[in-house]
Homo-oligomer: A and B are copies of this chain.
């Protein structure tokens, strides 16, 4: 059994090229016995951003609170609480918070990459 609150699980800064001002907490992952997908919580401070990148696995994202944008199909599109985003594999994307407000979002990934091996952060 596993019940954990997103505000109680310790998070850590995401260390990755192109990242600024984001902390991640792995809420449910491979080590918890999740067989197919992992649930991660990301808190991005105002002006912070994830990298602009693509990879061989999809994202399903839920915006918990705050405001920001996602780069998809070459354009930055506004995000607000309650928004769900699907980013297919191999599509360039970037999540970033507003300049004046942070953004808290969940980002789910499959635990296994399409081309084999563990998904990072799962």
Query: Which residues of A come within 8 Å of B, CB atoms?
Result: 1-7, 27-28, 32-37, 39, 41, 58, 60, 62, 64, 70, 72-73, 77, 79-80, 82-86, 88-89, 106, 108, 110, 114
Contact = CB atoms under 8 A, between A and B. Distances in A.
Number of identical protomers:
2
Nearest to A89: B35
27 contacts: A1-B72, A2-B84, A2-B85, A3-B70, A3-B72, A3-B77, A3-B84, A4-B84, A5-B80, A5-B82, A5-B83, A5-B84, A6-B62, A6-B84, A27-B84, A28-B60, A32-B86, A36-B36, A36-B58, A37-B108, A39-B60, A39-B62, A39-B84, A39-B108, A41-B84, A60-B108, A64-B82
Contact of A7 (B5, B6, B77, B82): B82
